[in-house]
Structure 1
């Protein structure tokens, strides 16, 4: 296996006296970030052909995953996608203007509204999910499936343990 740029960082961390366990943790974090960036860049290129931003895709996909009639409150979208209320508001305005989502009153709570996919929004969500799948497949086609499966399982275990921690 050929050394990468993170290996060079690890050498400097070791020279600085960092413990091996911390170096392994830093290497993992850096490689996860780098891998995520590569996948995200591949997906963004595909989404651009559809005229969508990554945030717009995230909202369409979240609404598509929601139970029929594929609707959520903006606050639920914001929490699920880790977007600020202002950020989700801007994305929803663009998606509404494009005809992909519509907002309707919440009969149980006059202070909130539902956001749901339109028929065109469901079609665009399907096209965007297909584009995302294509981007991920093409980006990862050089990695054998068994290596990908092992990495995904190992990362699930790490995330389940780290995810239990509470941070301020």
Structure 2
């Protein structure tokens, strides 16, 4: 079965191959073409995400942060002044479990990067807020993450990145609300 869909060509005009292309013949021998395409997409998204995460993890390790700690600091920073969110909102936005969020928040509180404050409007609820030191560390970590992402993607033309981001938005708009069993 001939694999269609390549549009990147090498200097000789042959389709360029990535590591996922090596998997396609095995899938194509056993599966319908439409499923092969979905597997190619899934594998490439996973591989790109993994490479970006690996580079970010290395930068965060140099700052003494785990990837999960960085994620929480970034989410609180992204919330803008007064840099606070409810733990349940953090859990939802980061796709973590409530237990996982709680563990990360405890570590960040011990480090002095976040504190918890009562919600004046709801005595049962609390806010998680970046401390001044937490804002400093979050800004430093966001800069490091940006550099890591830029380094990984440096050789990819900006227009290619834009097209990929736009195409993946279309996919996510369709499948993003799907509940996983």
Q: 1:26 aligns with which of 39, 57, 71?
A: 39
User: In structure 1, what is the equivalent of residue 156 of structure 2?
Assistant: 143
- The answer to whether structure 1 residue 11 and structure 2 residue 22 are counterparts is no
- Larger mean Cα displacement after TM superposition, 91-100 or 153-162: 153-162
Shift of 1:166: 4.8
Give the Cα–Cα distance (whole angstroms) in 2 for the partners of residues 47 and 152 of structure 1: 24
SS at match of 2:22: helix
Structure with more contact order per residue of length (Cα contacts < 8 Å, sep ≥ 6): 1
Quote the Cα distance in structure 2 between the aligned partners of 1:104 and 1:35: 38
Q: What is the correspondence of 1:6-155 to structure 2 with a 5 Å cutoff? A: 6-16=20-30, 18-155=31-168
Question: Relative to 1, partners in 2 of residues 1:144 and 1:127: Cα closer, same or farther, differing over 3 Å?
Answer: same
Q: CA deviation at 1:97?
A: 0.8
Inter-partner Cα distance in structure 2 for 1:166 and 1:121: 34
Q: Which protein has the bigger helix share? A: 1
TM-score of the pair, normalised by structure 1: 0.94
Q: 1:164: how far off?
A: 4.5
**5+ unaligned residues in a row in structure 1: which ranges?**
none
Q: 2: distance between equivalents of 1:116 and 1:11?
A: 51
What is the TM-score of this pair, normalised by structure 2? 0.87
Q: Give ranges in structure 2 of 5+ residues lacking alignment.
A: 1-14
1:162 and 1:55 mapped to 2: Cα distance?
25
How many correspondences in the alignment? 167
| Cα deviations by residue, 1:97-139 (Å, 9 ceiling, x for unpaired) | 1111011111222222111001111101100000000000001
Q: How far did 1:146 drift? A: 1.1
